[in-house]
Amino acid sequence: MANVIGHIAPLGTGAVAPDFTLPHTSQALITPKSMSGDPAVLAFYPMDWEPVSREQLELYQQWLTEIQRLKADLLAISTDHMYSHEAFARDAQIQFPLLSDFRPRGAVAQRYGVYRESAGVSARALFVIDERTVIRFSQVYPDMLNPGVGDLLNVLETLAQERENREQEA
């Protein structure tokens, strides 16, 4: 069952993650399926330049090597325009993709059940999607709370262990 906060009803664990294509830059589109084929972390956040979002994304940047060691791709998504993302990423020294869910506004956030229509932004939410595109972690957080990396790393470690077990059995 999905965790419901206000009018937000995120897709729950076990659901198939909707595919999408979003701009990363004016010349680059990203879809989770075009990434490495490894698990993907989708970090929806309200907006660039907002202090808690900045703190959250800078924290993920600090932990990016560990996330990559666990063979996961990290994608952050907000309704900001790609040009805002480009300036924000430069300023905050973010090196993972910031995707623009700008047009139509919040379409991907809506598909994941985390769009706040009244504010025109997504909720702060994390999803971990395994290599079969099944949602393995789904959580919405209050806007003023940085979700940190603990839950995220625990789920990625579990997925890495499952992958290792499958490889040993093969």
Task: Write the CATH number for 122.
Answer: 3.40.30.10
In this model, does residue 158 exceed pLDDT 80?
yes
Q: Which domain holds residue 78?
A: 22-169
Is residue 36 domain-resident? yes
Is residue 159 domain-resident? yes
Helix axes 51-62, 82-92, angle to 10 degrees: 60
Is residue 10 domain-resident? no
Q: How many independent structural domains does the chain possess?
A: 1
Mean predicted confidence (pLDDT) in 8-17: 95
Confidence tier at 8 by pLDDT (50, 70, 90): confident
Is residue 3 domain-resident? no
Full DSSP string of 38-94: S-EEEEE-S-TT-HHHHHHHHHHHHTHHHHHHTT-EEEEEESS-HHHHHHHHHHHT-
Predicted confidence at residue 54, as pLDDT, reads 98
Is residue 8 domain-resident? no
For residue 147, count other CB atoms closer than 10 A to its CB: 20
Q: What is the pLDDT of residues 105-143, one digit of tens each?
A: 999 999 999 999 999 999 999 999 999 999 999 999 999
In this model, does residue 5 exceed pLDDT 50?
no
Is residue 110 domain-resident? yes
124 contacts 52 by C-beta, under 8 angstroms: yes
Q: What is the pLDDT of residues 52-103, one digit of tens each?
A: 999 999 999 999 999 999 999 999 999 999 999 999 999 999 999 999 999 9
Is residue 17 domain-resident? no
In this model, does residue 152 exceed pLDDT 90?
yes
Is residue 7 domain-resident? no
pTM to 2 decimals? 0.93
